[in-house]
Structure 1
Amino acid sequence: MTNPMTRVAIVLNNASGDGAADAARLAIAPVFEAAGIGAEFLMLAEGDDLAAMLTRILASGVDAIVAGGGDGTVNSVAAAVVGHDVTFGVIPLGTLNHFARDLGIPLDAADAARVIVAGHTVPVDVAEVNGRIFLNNSSVGLYPRIVQLRERYKARGIEKWVVAAWATFRVTRRSNPLRVLLNVDGKRVSRTTPLVFIGNNEYRMAGFDAGSRASLTDGRLAIYIVATSGQLGFLKLTWRILTGTAQGSSDLLMLRATEATIDMPHEAAMTQLPVALDGEIASVELPLRYVINPGALRVAVPR
């Protein structure tokens, strides 16, 4: 589908203060100008009220809202766009840029802007848990703890890759598994697991493509329940993934569903759980109710 546009609003995450947002603005402004499209730039700083900003933008009648930043920024902007008749564009400025990569959106800012200008869109699925959306994945257990520890170390100014490696080492040394009860499209599954990972559509689980998705339009959640624990167990699972032998193994249970619930009835005192949503952590009330909304977000993508 092609959606012509005359006005766009571009939200650039400037919170890091590293100059990436300013450089992106300089790179993409000429692309919209050359196409005769009016572009309003909003430089998002730490503490800004993004929700109020996006409410104003949507009320102004723009044809597209563009998120410039990492997966967390893309998630935050998309949450406001879902349910509105506007195109959603992405300028990938983060470290991983999972959503952009899986849709084939160029990682170069100017090239990504040209994709938006071309106006070709597809309706992609949006998943949510207890009303909070995610475009990539959500998880409970080990990964939220790794992210929380990683953020503490990052505040000390340590290199990102060192922080990530050390946080992963620390957390996997003591996996502290959860006793969870899942209801997956009406099927009850009880497990003791260090990690439950829920994908917005299925993730590849083989070779160096592992961690990417072939489709964001299949209309189903992919639920991965890890059965192994400890550092040796996770190394073994990683090896299985790289060699394409993880699916069907005793280390990993994979289920597909349109709805799923996660609860912890054995932990009566636990009413909330740290949940990772596109790399950001939120404390979410139990039980966790996951659903997928097929085609809920109209995204500008390459032809």
Structure 2
Amino acid sequence: MTPTAERAVSALTIPPDAPFFIVMNAGSGRKQGDLTREILDRELGGAGRRYELRLVDDPAELAATARMAVEDAIQQNGVVVGAGGDGTLCAVAQATLGSGCPFAVLPRGTFNYFSRDHGIPAGLDESTRLLLTARAYPVQVGVVNGRMFLVNASLGLYPKLLEDREIYKQQFGRSRLIALFSAAATMLRAHRHLRLHIEHEGQMREIRTSTLFVGNNRLQLEQIGMREAPLLEQGLLAAIAPRAVGRIAQIFLSLRGAAGRLSDADNVISFAFRSITVTHPSKRRRRVKIATDGEVTHLDMPLEFHVAPEPLFLLKPEPEIALANRS
């Protein structure tokens, strides 16, 4: 579908008096919350638009706060806004999906893959101003056992990388350099390989891998050089699983990914799909650690990965502008 046709068929215009219900994870510090409120007052308040900023100090309260914001938005014909990194945005989006409410984001994370992929400006001033003019477009989300993800979901080594990264961030601060250093340190340590059965389109495949990674973000997949990246726009997800290799080979695979050449590696299995079922060969009920958009939890196998049957309606720039803004 051309960008013009997409606008004509899919875009939802936001009422000029729609209030914004903004849910923000305050874990990064009260100073960031104060700065956010100052910009919201200037950009939204200055334009005569009503908003409510709901700071969440306890991450355990994030989902409940998001659900309350959705209820208020439904009653007042408003927009639900997530402010934070990809994990926070996913939690707020999970509450919004299926509600009929438009969803918007104010990127405040380290990598911001979701917002960048949709051309939303990284600067808080610019992304706040966008709320006043943007229309809502349907965007695809992934689901694993009822848990939504905007960017990716994974099991195996990748959740361990995320846990270690949080420890490094608490000690040394939040930056991309710290995140990359943490990942290298984790991969140098010994780790167990997974034995998995993957059922896809009636076919069963057994693999041994350090991690199973399911991607729903074209920008992230393009950065590591996956050929499946364009297929996300056809309503598919992408599965990536490096074959069981040693630590040194694992690091070389990571370097290929950093260079945007992971698809060229012989030791990587990848394919696009609409739905897959992942089980353990023993068939016993197992509880596994899984990461969705950077947030680690435990889920029972089998794992059912699929594209959500309904889209999330995201406030974003017009298609031509969004494409130009992707970085």
- What TM-score do you get using the length of structure 2 for normalisation? 0.82
Distance 1:255 1:208 in 2: 15
Partner of 1:4: 15
Structure 1 residues 93-102 or 142-151, which shifts more? 142-151
Are the aligned partners of 1:173 and 1:230 in contact in 2 as well (CA < 8 Å)? no
TM-superposed CA distance for 1:45, in Å, is 1.1
Aligned match for 1:196, one of 205, 212, 223: 212
Tell me: CA distance 1:49–1:205, structure 2 relative to 1, closer, same or farther (3 Å). closer
TM-superposed CA distance for 1:150, in Å, is 3.1
Structure 2 residue identity aligned to 1:193: T
* Structure 1: gaps spanning 5 or more residues: none
Are the aligned partners of 1:203 and 1:211 in contact in 2 as well (CA < 8 Å)? no
Please list, as runs of the form range in 1=range in 2, the aligned pairs for 1:210-229 lying within 5 A after superposition. Answer: 217-229=233-245
Aligned length: 301
Structure 2 residue identity aligned to 1:77: V
Tell me: CA distance 1:4–1:208, structure 2 relative to 1, closer, same or farther (3 Å). same
Cα-Cα RMSD: 2.7
Distance 1:178 1:13 in 2: 33
Tell me: CA distance 1:75–1:226, structure 2 relative to 1, closer, same or farther (3 Å). same
TM-superposed CA distance for 1:229, in Å, is 2.6
Aligned match for 2:293, one of 257, 278, 285: 278
1:262 aligned onto 2:278 = yes
Distance 2:280 2:15 in 1: 48
Partner of 1:176: 192
Are the aligned partners of 2:224 and 2:261 in contact in 1 as well (CA < 8 Å)? no
TM-superposed CA distance for 1:173, in Å, is 3.0
Partner of 1:113: 128
TM-superposed CA distance for 1:216, in Å, is 6.0
Show CA shifts across 1:67-99 (max 9, x none).
111111101100100001111110001111111
Show CA shifts across 1:13-67 (max 9, x none).
2123251122112112222223332111111112563333333333332420111
Aligned match for 2:40, one of 21, 28, 34: 28
Partner of 2:53: 41
How much identity, in percent, do the aligned residues show? 29
Identify the structure with the greater strand proportion. Answer: 1
Partner of 1:151: 166
Distance 1:68 1:34 in 2: 20
Aligned match for 2:151, one of 107, 129, 136: 136
Are the aligned partners of 2:164 and 2:182 in contact in 1 as well (CA < 8 Å)? no
Partner of 1:186: 202
Partner of 1:127: 142
Structure 2 residue identity aligned to 1:57: A
Structure 2 residue identity aligned to 1:235: I
Distance 1:150 1:12 in 2: 21
- What TM-score do you get using the length of structure 1 for normalisation? 0.88
Please list, as runs of the form range in 1=range in 2, the aligned pairs for 1:91-106 lying within 5 A after superposition. Answer: 91-106=106-121
Tell me: CA distance 1:56–1:170, structure 2 relative to 1, closer, same or farther (3 Å). closer
